[in-house]
Amino acid sequence: MANRLAHANSPYLLQHKDNPVDWYPWGLEALARAKAEDKPIFLSIGYAACHWCHVMEHESFEDPATAAYMNEHFVNIKVDREERPDIDGIYMGAVVAMTGSGGWPMSVFLTPEGEPFLGGTYFPPVARHNLPSFMDALRHVQRIWSEERDKVIENGRIITQHLQPPAASSPAEGQSVTPEALSQAVMALAQAYDWRHGGWGQAPKFPQPMTIDFLLARATQGDQLALDMARHALHSMALGSMYDVVGGGFARYSVDNYWRVPHFEKMLYDNALLARTYLHGYLVTQDEDMRRVCERTLDFVARELRDAGGGFYSSLDADSEGEEGKFYVWGLQEIEEEIGDGETRDLLIEAYGVSQEGNFEGHNVLQRVKSDTELAEQFGLDAATVRSGLDAAHSTLLAARGRRVRPGTDDKVLTAWNGLMLIAYAEAARYLKRPDYLQLAQANADFLLRELHDGSRLLRSWRAGQASHNAYLEDYAALTLGLLALYQSDGDVRWYSAAEKLAGEFTQHFADPAGGFFDTRDDHETLITRPKDSQDNATPSGNALAALALLQLHAYSGNSAWYDAASRMLAGMQASAARYPTAFAQWLYASSWLLAGGREVAIVGDGAEALLDTLWSAWRPFDVAAVSASAAPDGGPPLLADRPLKDDKATAYVCRNFACQLPVNMAADLASQLAAS
C-alpha cells in the first residue's frame, strides 16, 4: 500500500512511495503530528540520482521490521534536497557540526520543534566500518528521547544556535576589491594544484568549473600561470571516464585521483557549468578538442535531458538494473562484436587500453591512454583519419548503448539549474555559430518564464505540468544571468526586460539589511533559521550569482544602486575568496568583473552581421552587448538610448561607463576599438 509520498511530484519522493515507512513530505501536517504525539522526527534527505540513497532505501526503508519501529517511535519525513535546498542546507550544516562531514543520504533526528540533536549520513543495516546499524541508531535515539529528554532538547537548542547565519561580513570603511587579492587566489590555487593528474583536492575528486572559469578570465588579461592551470585541468578531465567519450557529458565526480573511475550519475548543473567552461577554454586557446567536449556535452543534454516543452531535466541516475555504472562500462568481447571494421576497432582498443580484465571491477571505463599523435604513428595514419575513426567507433558504441536498460531520469525542471544551462547554450550559440543551440536557449527561456513564473513570483521546480515551491535566490540570480546571456545572443528585448524584472524582485524580497541577500524570500516558510549561504558548492552561491547579475545590469542600465550593492558584497567576501579560492570561485569571477570595469558595446541597425561576427570572435569576459536591429528600439536597456546610425548603416558603439568612442560602421574599426580599450 502506498504511503503519503504517492501524492508527491518529486521523482525522489515517488521512489519511496511504496516503502512500508509512514513517510510524510515536509510540511505542517508532519510537524504538527510530531508535536501532538511528542515524538522525535526522523528526517531523511536525498535526491533521485543518489546511489547510496537507493542502497539505504533497499536495506532499511523497505525492511518491514525497520519500518515498523520507525512508524511506532518517530514521525518520518522525506525531503528532496533539490526541491528544498533551504531545508537541506540548514540540516546539512547541523550534520557537519555534529560529525565533521556530510553527504547524502542525510539522516537527521529532530525535536518536534525541528531542532536537530543527532545526525549522520548513510547508516548500514548491520554495524560495519565504524558505523552503527540503522536500527541501533533508531534505538539509541528512542532511548535518549525517553530517558534524557532535557539533555536532548538542550543539545538541539545549542546546535540550532550554531546554525544561525553570521552577521554579514561588511567591508571596512573605504575597503574595496583589490587586484592583489585576486593574485593571491591564483597563487593559492597553484600551490594546491595537482600538476600530475589535474584538478584540486584528493579523491573523491570533483571538477571545479567555476575555479577554471576564473582562471580563464584571468588568462584573457595575460596571466600565464592561470592559463597553464586551466588548460591542464581541462585536458585532464577530457581524457575520459568522468567525461563520457561515447555519448558526451560529465559524471558527478571521480572516485579516484586520476579521473579514471566516475561516480556515474550525471547532473544538469555539472554539465551546464562544464560545457561553458570548455567553451571558454576553446575561445582562449583555440584548442579544437575543447570545442569538441563543449559541443558533445551540449548535444548530450539536448538528446537526453530535455523536456519537449523546452525545460531541462535534473539528472540521470548512477544505477541501472540495480548496478552502479552498468549502462556505461564495456567488455572487450562486446566491443569486438559491436565494431565490425577491424582498424576502427583496433584504434578504439588502443586509444583506451581496453582489455579482458578491464580497469573497473572486471569492466572497462573508457579513458584515453594514447593520444591521436601516438595512434597515428602506431597505425601509420594521419591525425585526421585517427580522429574520424574514433568518432565512428564512438557512434557505434553509442548506438549499442542505446539498446541497454537506461538509468532513471529525474525529470523535474529546476529553475536555477536551467538558468545555468541557458547561459551555456546562449553563449555557445553566438560564439560557435550554432543556430540550433540558439533555438534550444530560446525555447528554454520561454518555458521558464511561462511555466515557472506566476506573474508575481518565480517558482523553483516543475514536473509533469505542475510548478511548485518558492524560488530561492540562486533561482532568481541564475535565471537573470541566463536571460542576459540570451539577450546578447539574439537581441530580443523581452529577455532583457524579464531579467530586470527578476532583479527587481530579488533585490526587494531577499535583501539582508546587513548586506547581501538571504537564500529565501521574505514571505517564505519560517524555519529554525533563515539561510544565507555565501560559499560555492557544486553550484555557485546564490549571492555570488546575484552580485554578478547586478554588475551586468548596471552595465546595461547605469543603475548605481545595483553597482553599489554588488561592490559591497564583493569587498566583504574578498578575504575569504583569496584564502579559500575553490570555495569562493564565483565570487572571484565576479570580483574580476568589478576590477576590470566592464565595457559596454551597443550595435544598432540592420545588416550588422559583420559587426556581430567581430564582436563574438573572441571571449571578452567583462563586456556586455546590447543589440537592436532598429535605430530607435522599443524598450531594451538604456545602453541603447541615443545611439543613432552613422551614415545610415549598422553602427557599433564601444563604451565604458556609458562614455563611448566614436561610432563605427566597419568591422575592422570595431576590432581596433575592442583591441585597444
Q: How far from 659 is each of 78, 602, 605, 615, 663, CA to CA, in Å?
A: 55, 12, 20, 19, 12
What would the pLDDT profile of 574-623 be if each residue is shown by its tens digit?
999 999 999 999 999 999 999 998 899 999 999 999 999 999 999 999 99
pLDDT at 368 over 70: yes
CA distance 75 to 145: 13
Say which amino acid occupies 252: R
pLDDT value at 419 more than 80: yes
Backbone angles phi, psi at 145, to 5 degrees: -65, -35
**pLDDT tens digits for 499-545?**
999 999 999 999 999 999 999 999 999 999 999 999 999 999 999 99
pLDDT, position 627: 92
Give the pLDDT confidence score for residue 658 in this predicted structure: 77
pTM for the whole structure: 0.96
Residue closest to 130 by CA, chosen among 139, 138, 120, 140: 120
Q: Once rounded to an integer, what is the mean pLDDT over residues 545-569?
A: 96
Percent of the chain at pLDDT > 70 equals 98
Write down the pLDDT at residue 2.
87
CA gap 119, 162 in Å, rounded: 15
Say yes or no to pLDDT of 167 above 80. Answer: no
In the prediction, which pLDDT does 631 show?
67
Report the DSSP beta bridge partners of residue 367: 240
Burial of residue 483 (number of CB atoms within 10 Å: 0-12, 13-18, 19+)? buried
Cis before 105 (ω within 30) = yes
Q: Where are the alpha helices (DSSP H) in 113-177?
A: 134-147, 149-163
Residues sharing a CB contact under 8 Å with residue 350, sequence separation 6 or more, in sequence order: 370, 375, 378, 379
The backbone torsions φ and ψ at residue 328, rounded to the nearest 5 degrees and listed phi first, read -110, -10
Q: Are 552 and 622 in contact (CB under 8 A)?
A: no
Residue 547 pLDDT grade (very low, low, confident, very high; cuts 50, 70, 90): very high
Output the nine-digit C-alpha cell for 371.
593520444
DSSP calls for 17-43: TTSSS-EEESSHHHHHHHHHHT--EEE
Which pLDDT tens digit goes with each residue over 329-338?
Answer: 999 999 999 9
- Residue 615 is predicted with a pLDDT of 97
DSSP 574: H
465 — pLDDT class (breaks 50, 70, 90): very high
DSSP annotation of 327: T
Please report the pLDDT score of residue 677 as a whole number: 64
Residue-averaged pLDDT of the chain: 95
Alpha-carbon gap, residue 41 to 608, rounded angstroms: 62
* Residue 557 clears pLDDT 90, i.e. is over it: yes
Closest CA to 300 of 270, 344, 320: 270
Q: Average pLDDT for residues 186-205, to the nearest whole number?
A: 96
Give the 3-state secondary structure of residue 258.
coil
- Band of pLDDT at residue 164, cut at 50, 70 and 90: confident
Query: In this structure, what is the dihedral angle of CA atoms 246, 248, 253, 256, given to the nearest 10 degrees?
Result: 30
Q: Give the number of other Cβ atoms within 10 Å of residue 647's Cβ.
A: 8
Q: pLDDT per residue over 610-630, tens digit each? A: 999 999 999 999 999 999 987
Angstrom distance (rounded) from CA 240 to CA 203: 17
* Whether the Cβ atoms of residue 533 and residue 541 lie closer than 8 Å to each other: yes
Identity at 329, one-letter amino acid code: V
Walk me through the domains of the chain, giving residue ranges and CATH numbers.
4-163 (3.40.30.10), 179-321+410-596 (1.50.10.10), 328-403 (no CATH), 599-676 (no CATH)
| pLDDT (0 to 100) of residue 336 | 94
Q: Which distant-in-sequence residues (6+ apart) come within 8 Å of 49 by Cβ? A: 265, 266, 267, 314, 315, 316, 317, 318, 407, 408, 410
Is 634 a residue whose pLDDT tops 80? Answer: no
Q: What pLDDT score does 340 carry? A: 87
For 8-56, the pLDDT digits (tens) are 999 999 999 999 999 999 999 999 999 999 999 999 999 999 999 999 9
